[in-house]
Amino acid sequence: MDLLPTGKFKDVFSAQGNRLVRHFDAETMWIEAWGANSLRVRATKQAEMGEMDWALTETPAACAAVIDIQERFATITNGRITARVSAGGQITFTNQKGEVLLDEYMRNRLDVMAPNCSALEIEAREFKPILGGDYTLSVRFESDPGEKLYGMGQYQQPLLNLKGCELELAHRNSQASVPFCLSSLGYGFLWNNPGVGRVTFGRNLTTWQAVSTKMLDYWITAGDTPAQIEEAYAAVTGTVPMMPDYAMGFWQCKLRYQTREQLMNVAHEYKRRGLPISVIVVDFFHWPNQGDWKFDEEYWPDPDGMIAELKEMGIELMVSIWPTVDQNSENYQTMLNKGYLIRTDRGLRVAMDFMANTIHYDATNPAARQFVWDTAKKNYYDRGIKVFWLDEAEPEYSVYDFDLYRYHMGPNVQIGNVYPVMYAKTFFDGMKAERQENIINLLRCAWAGSQKYGALVWSGDIHSSFASLRNQFAAGLNMGIAGIPWWTTDIGGFHGGVPADPAFQELLVRWFQYGAFCPVMRLHGDREPHVPGVGPSGGGKLMSGGPNEVWSYGDKALEVCSKFMFLRERMKPYITRLMQDAHEKGSPVMRPLFYEFASDARSWEIEDEYLFGPDVLVAPVMEAGMTHRQVYLPAGARWMDVNTLVQYDGGQTVEVETPIENLPVFQRVGSDLGFSWN
């Protein structure tokens, strides 16, 4: 056993400006100030430390770290946070009060004077060599069983508090891994590694794992409130642009308008009925082949005239983009020749087989990004389309063999989770170069940092059920905490749902009410029964879902949906303030109760209510046939039921009626929302 000789501990530490360096045997570790009250930790057993900043792309605030090197330990302090590193290498993070925030789990005999000296020989940072390659990495921390953890992106499960959960650090259709978590102990933690892996938030220890990597990289911040933590995270990873006014209204979408005539008929019907509509969507397979990135003018003639007519009606047109390239596409051979497509390490070069054998463009390649944008610009943007639906953003594979695919930046298992960031960047950079402001594009996935590229994330191809609605409730709040404030769902769910079915009509109405209090309100879905394709070629071959407009679900549903569409319009002054806070500070638009009421212990327990901004409390109906529900009102404020105008003191649970016409909503008394409820 290699023990550090007495009197030689100090030799393993050095200071380099704001960076504390520990070098022992093959491992070099850096801990440095990185933004206010925050530290970045990197370690490697490679010859040199990697240079990629990954999610940490924003220039951190200037900080003057205090570094102290002693005989058997060293410390680095940056504002509210201190890291103490033992000579044996164990890191303990504390706040300005000396309270332990996070403590590495290490059990070995390297430092015989350490309190956790043990014969177990478990390393806190375990770099396990891969034969002929890099390392599998495991990083372990002590666990406080009473800790609560939030964030981490979007997972299809109903739990808001993630303590006790195991999560895959990988993207799938309806799963977005955004590896930032906020702790009830007063810290935020970013796993700054875009590789495939896993995290276990166990009762006895927390373990972060990467399947294949060259180095360890994470960032940690300390704050007295959740808002301080969230704003510190946004300061180093970026914030969303300011949301354009039209995006705050109602979006109409379905799978899929097959022709220009179908879409324009729907747009005109909304106007004829006097219903507010801001965006309408041309969904996938409006193109001749995947990878052509243009209208199939057999079914979508005169797109310029269509776009101009919609603009005259005050409606923005959003078009679907897929990253897949059909081998029959007019762009396939050029992209293959230039290395613009992702590669497979074995077998056929096919990643998806939906409607054709396809492979995705390599969004990690700057030249490929430019090619795709140039094509979309010529065929869409120059015609007047200013918002894109960047679908399949994980990217989706027919089989999720993550070790099969290789990108310009490296193997998928090492860097693959950055793909949706680069996909968003493709269009953001192109639109920014055209001097467009307030950029927003819809994506089906995200990773840390996606927000700064105008990513509005939706929760993917989810089931149409109350259980699925419950999952989206948790996903939306955790996405906001993970730094993605622009988030939405397919109102009514995606898969299934028969418009004439009373049970589905109830679900649609309840989901629609919830959708009115999401960052973006968007109706979408693949309704039954399906409609056959309209032609023998291109997108004409693909079927469509059934009707999915607000009048498709019967008179009662139309009455309730209309009520909430007009409410959404009236709420725009308040929503604008929320979007300004998201843009300037990174504040989540939807937030758990504890975000505003951290001192109220009960607020950390509530998992079926949320705040829409600081002053509106929403208690969705997420069960069929519910006629009453209980609502907890946080202590520290007085609350008014907007349906009855009755006021209540906070710190109590009240029971409210939930007729199909109403959604339980409470306003903080004394707040000025800038709109009226009626």
Rounded average pLDDT over 245-252:
98
Is the pLDDT at 5 greater than 60, yes or no? no
Q: How far is CA 383 from CA 19, 265, 312, 380, 447, in A?
A: 51, 21, 14, 5, 30
User: Do 476 and 487 form a contact (C-beta atoms < 8 A)?
Assistant: yes
Torsion of CA 252, 257, 261, 262, to 10 degrees: -70
What is the structure's pLDDT at 4?
46
The mean per-residue pLDDT over the stretch 629-638 comes to: 98
Residues 104 and 89: their CA atoms lie apart, in Å, by 9
Structure tokens at 429: 């950079």
The answer for residues whose C-beta is within 8 angstroms of residue 640's C-beta and 6 or more apart is 646, 647, 648, 666, 667, 669
In this prediction, residue 14 has a pLDDT band, given cuts at 50, 70 and 90, of very high
| pLDDT value of position 85 | 97
Q: Read off the DSSP letter of residue 107.
A: B
Q: Give percent above pLDDT 70 in the chain.
A: 97
Give per-residue pLDDT as tens, 464-485: 999 999 999 999 999 999 999 9
Which pLDDT score is estimated for 276? 98
In the predicted structure, residue 304 carries a pLDDT above the cut 60: yes
399-438 per-position pLDDT tens digit = 999 999 999 999 999 999 999 999 999 999 999 999 999 9
Nearest-Å Rg of the Cα atoms of the chain is: 26
Q: Where does residue 274 fall: left (phi above 0), alpha (psi -120 to 50 degrees), or beta otherwise?
A: left
Residue range 587-614: mean pLDDT, rounded: 98
Taking residues 134-138, what's their average pLDDT?
97
Dump pLDDT digits (tens) for 569-581. 999 999 999 999 9
pLDDT of residue 1: 33
**Is 608 in the active site?**
no
pLDDT at 2: 41
d(CA 470, CA 476): 10
Rounded to an integer, what distance in angstroms lies between the CA atom of residue 587 and that of residue 189? 17
Question: 568 exposed, middle or buried (CB, 10 Å; 0-12, 13-18, 19+)?
Answer: buried
Structure tokens at 156: 């299809």
Taking phi first (over 0 means left), then psi (-120 to 50 degrees means alpha), and beta for anything else, what does residue 617 get?
Answer: beta
* Spatial distance between the Cα atoms of 567 and 595, rounded to a whole number of angstroms: 25
- Please write the tens of the pLDDT for every residue from 39-56: 999 999 999 999 999 999
Assign 427 to helix, strand or coil: helix
Smallest CA-to-CA distance from 127 within 119, 114, 137, 117 is with: 137
CA gap 58, 303 in Å, rounded: 39
| Nearest alpha-carbon partner for 359 in 337, 335, 376, 338 | 335
Q: Which residues contact 107 (CB under 8 A, 6 or more apart)?
A: 116, 118, 120, 121, 122
**What contacts 24+ positions apart, CB below 8 Å, involve 65-69?**
65/18, 65/19, 65/20, 65/32, 65/33, 67/15, 67/18, 67/20, 69/10, 69/13, 69/14, 69/15, 69/20
> Is 263's pLDDT higher than 80?
yes
Residue 7 pLDDT more than 60?
no
The single-letter DSSP state of residue 117 is -
Q: What is the mean pLDDT of residues 369-383?
A: 98
Say how far apart CA 538 and CA 527 lie, in whole Å. Answer: 22
Mean pLDDT, the chain, integer: 96
pLDDT category at 3 given cuts 50, 70, 90 is very low
Give the C-alpha separation, 104 to 140, whole Å: 6
Which listed residue (326, 391, 392, 609) is catalytic? 391
Mean pLDDT in residue range 196-213: 97
**What pLDDT score does 71 carry?**
86
**Tokens matching residue 258:** 């097959």
User: What is the pLDDT confidence band of residue 9, given thresholds at 50, 70 and 90?
Assistant: low
Q: Smallest Cα–Cα separation from 31: which of 220, 165, 238?
A: 220
| Backbone torsions φ then ψ of 507, nearest 5 degrees | -60, -45
Instruction: Please name each of the domains of the chain with its CATH number.
Output: 9-237 (2.60.40.1760), 245-321+364-390+418-585 (3.20.20.80), 593-668 (2.60.40.1180)
| Residue 362: active-site member | no
Report the distance separating Cα 678 and Cα 676, nearest Å. Answer: 6
586-to-34, 575, 591 alpha-carbon distances in Å: 17, 15, 12
Token readout for 65 is 């770290």
Q: The sheet that has 616-618: what strands, in order across it? A: 590-591, 610-612, 616-618, 665-668, 638-641, 647-649
Query: 132 falls in which pLDDT band (50, 70, 90)?
Result: confident
* In contact, 177 and 447? CB cutoff 8 Å: yes
Distant-in-sequence, close-in-space partners of 305: CB < 8 Å, separation ≥ 6: none
- Between CA 50 and CA 632 the distance in angstroms is 48
Cβ-based neighbour number of residue 48 at 10 Å: 9
The active-site residue, picked from 32, 134, 292, 394, is: 394
pLDDT at 112: 60
% of the chain at pLDDT higher than 90: 94
Q: Is 391 marked active-site?
A: yes
Catalytic residue among 461, 528, 607, 623: 461
Helix or strand run (H / E) with residue 578: helix 572-585
**What would the DSSP string read from start to end of 314-364?**
T-EEEEEE--EEETTSTTHHHHHHHT-B-EESSS-S-SB-SSS-EEEB-TT
* String of DSSP letters for 467-503: HHHHHHHHHHHHHHHTT---EE--BT-SB---TT-HH
- Helix, strand, coil shares of the chain, percent, nearest 5, are 25, 30, 45
For residues 404 and 406, what is the distance between their CA atoms, to the nearest angstrom? 7
Longest dimension (CA), the chain: 85
Q: Strand 441-443 relative to strand 387-390: parallel, antiparallel, unpaired?
A: parallel
Q: Annotate 24-93 with DSSP letters as a single string.
A: ETTEEEEEEE-STTEEEEEEESSSS-----TT--SPPPP---EEEE-SSEEEEEETTEEEEEETT--EEE
Q: Which tops the pLDDT comparison, 604 or 88? A: 604
